[in-house]
Structure 1
């Protein structure tokens, strides 16, 4: 039996689009000043961890966060597009209010977390998104038995990981936090993911991080 892999999963720091509840999806938006500060704080908080590898979504907001985390360890960041946020098609670039007003039928299916619903214009449904993320994380973790791996990604990715680790359905209402640069700890074995710790934001010194609901 393969030795378990420890995982630290971190959502990217804040962007201006997070602050304005504009859905980013797979659009490439950079961190704002607060997000860069959050990333530096996360990097400092994890500086003493025995990190064996850092994997990141290739989107700028995740990559910039990963740079701050990887720097103290002298490891190269390895990009993986499978860690990208869910593709939201025509939702991307719109605020939550815009989506509700301009695409009300699609918005309703989205809010209901219909697992078969794909946002118009090439969006992913939740089943496809979940499979992409879980398969990617299993593959990456399997490369590092007995090591600690950092994964830097997006709010939707964090949500999938929490559900996988706690065996919750895709349609279950979310009761857990997905704040920017919160530190989330998981254990991976050949049987899947197990939750170790979630939403540690002590490194932010009480400065409230936006939750995933603000924008993906």
Structure 2
């Protein structure tokens, strides 16, 4: 059996102020680092065989905290990066022009590609996430922590569970939340969803 702990990175200033990050290499803020340390304390009770992380700093810093109690070295990969929002990255969500907000909303609610040449197509996102899972599933068993980003982890979760991706907007993965899925009897199954960091210590034991 394979167990995946899907973990969103800790808070950044961009998260706090409603700025779209995408593949920008933003850092954890002080609260995000505190979240990651709290999560690491809760996760020390788990058996984790490997830790895989996006190579963007906010994710890799979160992974480093989780890795310490387990004496593991996170495996960093660009396959787990956030979706690329292109020219929308770095913009305040509420201050975007109406047209850009409309295109972003269509991405979230209808899975329609952003109409910008520098934005990542959904087919490319799905391809790289599928490539990562294919590599991981080559192992017959194990417990793996996967540290990534809000949109791409949400997309991966819906992909694994065959949930309609048009419903992705109904779920916002919290910073340093844990979602657990297992591969059992030839299918992925949900164990816990979006368990937030302030309630993890009494549960992940």
TM-score (norm: length of structure 1): 0.83
Is residue 36 of structure 2 the alignment partner of residue 17 of structure 1? no
Higher normalized helix content (fraction of residues) = 2
SS in 2 for 1:34: helix
Please, which of 21, 28, 32 is the counterpart of residue 35 of structure 1? Answer: 32
Q: Which moved more, 1:187-196 or 1:71-80?
A: 187-196
Q: Which moved more, 1:50-59 or 1:94-103?
A: 94-103
Residue 130 of structure 1 corresponds to 126
Give how far 1:55 is off: 0.6
Question: Alpha carbons of 1:122 and 1:173: their partners in 2 closer, same or farther (altered >3 Å)?
Answer: same
Provide structure 2 residue ranges, at least 5 long, that are not aligned to the other structure. Answer: 201-205
Residue 91 of structure 1 corresponds to 88
Give how far 1:132 is off: 1.9
Tell me the distance in 2 between the aligned counterparts of 1:104 and 1:35: 27
RMSD of aligned residue pairs (Cα, Å) = 2.2
Question: Alpha carbons of 1:188 and 1:139: their partners in 2 closer, same or farther (altered >3 Å)?
Answer: farther
Residue 113 of structure 1 corresponds to 110
TM-score (norm: length of structure 2): 0.87
Please, which of 144, 154, 162 is the counterpart of residue 167 of structure 1? Answer: 162
